[in-house]
Amino acid sequence: MKKIFWAADSTVQTNDITTYPQTGIGQVFSLYIKEGITVKNHAKNGRSTKSFIDEGRLEAIDREIGEGDFLFIQFGHNDEKIEDPTRYTEPSTTYIENLTTFVNTARKHGAYPVLITPLERRCFADSTHLGLGAHSDYVAAMKQAAESLQVPLVDLYSMSRSELKKAGEVDSRKWYMNLEPGVYASCMEGKIDNTHLKYEGAVFFAGLIARGLQDLGGMYADLILDF
């Protein structure tokens, strides 16, 4: 039985009742995959590539992943937290080095790594204009790593920005845990949460990743149901 392992942060993690209604992409991704494929979601709130490795979470994947499995690698939100040395990575150096460690962990077992750029935050400058975003340096670095390591990449960042722009400030509220409509500037402050997802958002953005895998073709497309 093929397994999809997910190494990522809170936008992907599996939640329980203590964080309801927050829902992670990895929590619902099985909706899109074919029968006989299992999702092993190791994503955890607040983790960067650095803290995920330092806490032994990649080591746990290393012990279980096998030939023919897949490792989905999706980080960026917490790598950019320069105020926190336990999580921060510099995009063009340590971030790429850590991504390389993830890739090599998969490959040494005959598994297939996939790099996934971070989900965009719901940061509208006003009621109609999406802000510049916070992940661009890490997105560029991940794309550089994908090219140099010859790893397939799903650009969730660009896809999610496109969908946010199309939906606009009002219609995009249904995807994120934003509980104070009409507040634009802050991505996360108190009840204003424009980073984490509700169920509908998790399903929607998981679908974008599924489409990205279909576009890659071959064994990646073979993971996904026709929809």
Q: Supply the residues annotated as catalytic.
A: 10, 189, 196
Cα(77)–Cα(194) distance, rounded to whole angstroms? Answer: 12
> Smallest Cα–Cα separation from 130: which of 138, 120, 140?
120
96, 141 contact by CB (below 8 A)? yes
Helix axes 136-149, 96-107, angle to 10 degrees: 40
89, 54 contact by CB (below 8 A)? no
Cα(103)–Cα(123) distance, rounded to whole angstroms? Answer: 31
- Please, which residues bridge with residue 113 across strands? 71
Beta strands in 54-184 (DSSP E): 70-74, 112-116, 153-154
Query: How much of the chain is in helix, strand and coil states, percent to nearest 5?
Result: 45, 15, 40
C-alpha R_g of the chain: 17
Cα(125)–Cα(123) distance, rounded to whole angstroms? Answer: 6
